């Protein structure tokens, strides 16, 4: 991830003096100005990322609720079809010579088509749910990256201001060793935010791999629905939202 990480996270294998030693040129005035500017720009970007992640979460939740509604509708339609289907078959068997088989089949046909249509909608819904989940993971990763950058910038600014305030001490000592409570606290936060970025990256990769494995298993067992097949063809994908 882009960011001034090298300015705030010293080598863990360095000696105590090297870790905490500072000198006038550690953070230049230009670097501090750039960090201040970037920090002001990060705020609105972070707000946008938070809002985007919330929108993705709401979309996934709404689609999940719709799945429950479609499942209930399919169950209801299949029950209604069964009530008509078996008696119709028996009627044909019992009155073969006098039965209008075409009329019986035409009576069943709308119910059969209705079930197929709702089942296709459910297949399409599953495609949209998986796409929405990936968008949520991606949005979460972007938010983590912005939070990590913000935390790094705050640590850089804190360190730079401390260095600037030590001007008279540098004039006497040339180089000093400093442990600033505020700066060290911000560095710790930056480390944790970077760890969250790694976790988010792993979660996104794992979700992609899980979806790929699921699709391959469906293909191998022949349980892919018509809508899922159509959604995999670019010409039929449309806007999966």
pLDDT-derived band of residue 155, with 50, 70 and 90 as boundaries?
confident
pLDDT-derived band of residue 113, with 50, 70 and 90 as boundaries?
very high
Q: Which long-range contacts (CB under 8 A, 24 or more apart) does 222-229 make?
A: 225/119, 225/120, 225/122, 225/123, 225/126, 226/120, 226/123, 227/120, 227/121, 227/122, 227/123, 227/124, 227/127, 228/123, 228/124, 228/126, 228/127
Q: Which pLDDT value is given to residue 169?
A: 73
Note the pLDDT tens digit of each residue in 133-148: 999 999 999 999 999 9
* Helix and strand counts by DSSP (H, E) for the chain: 7, 2
Residues 109 and 84: their CA atoms lie apart, in Å, by: 11
Q: Which pLDDT value is given to residue 235?
A: 40
Q: Which pLDDT value is given to residue 131?
A: 92
The pTM of this model reads 0.74
Residues 19 and 22: their CA atoms lie apart, in Å, by: 9
Is pLDDT above 60 for 70? yes
Provide mean pLDDT across the span 11-29: 52
């Amino acid at each position: 991830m882009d960011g001034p990480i090298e300015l705030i996270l010293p080598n863990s294998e360095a000696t105590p003096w090297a870790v905490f030693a500072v000198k006038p040129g550690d953070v230049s005035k230009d670097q501090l100005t750039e960090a201040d500017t970037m920090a002001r720009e990060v705020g609105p970007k972070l707000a946008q990322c938070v809002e985007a992640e919330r929108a993705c979460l709401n979309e996934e939740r709404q689609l999940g609720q719709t799945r429950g509604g479609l499942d209930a509708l399919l169950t209801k339609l299949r029950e209604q079809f069964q009530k008509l289907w078996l008696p119709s078959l028996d009627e044909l068997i019992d009155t073969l010579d006098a039965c209008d088989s075409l009329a019986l089949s035409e009576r069943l046909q709308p119910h059969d088509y209705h079930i197929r249509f709702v089942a296709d909608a459910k297949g399409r819904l599953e495609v949209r749910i998986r796409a929405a989940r990936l968008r949520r993971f991606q949005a979460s990763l972007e938010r983590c990256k912005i939070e990590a950058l913000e935390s790094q910038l705050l640590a850089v600014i804190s360190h730079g201001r401390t260095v600037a305030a030590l001007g008279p001490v540098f004039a006497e000592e040339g180089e000093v060793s400093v442990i600033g409570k505020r700066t060290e606290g911000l560095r710790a936060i930056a480390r944790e935010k970077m760890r969250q970025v790694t976790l988010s990256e792993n979660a996104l990769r794992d979700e992609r791999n899980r979806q790929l494995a699921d699709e391959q298993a469906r293909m191998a067992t022949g349980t892919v629905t018509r809508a899922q097949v159509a959604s995999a063809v670019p010409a039929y994908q449309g806007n999966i939202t």
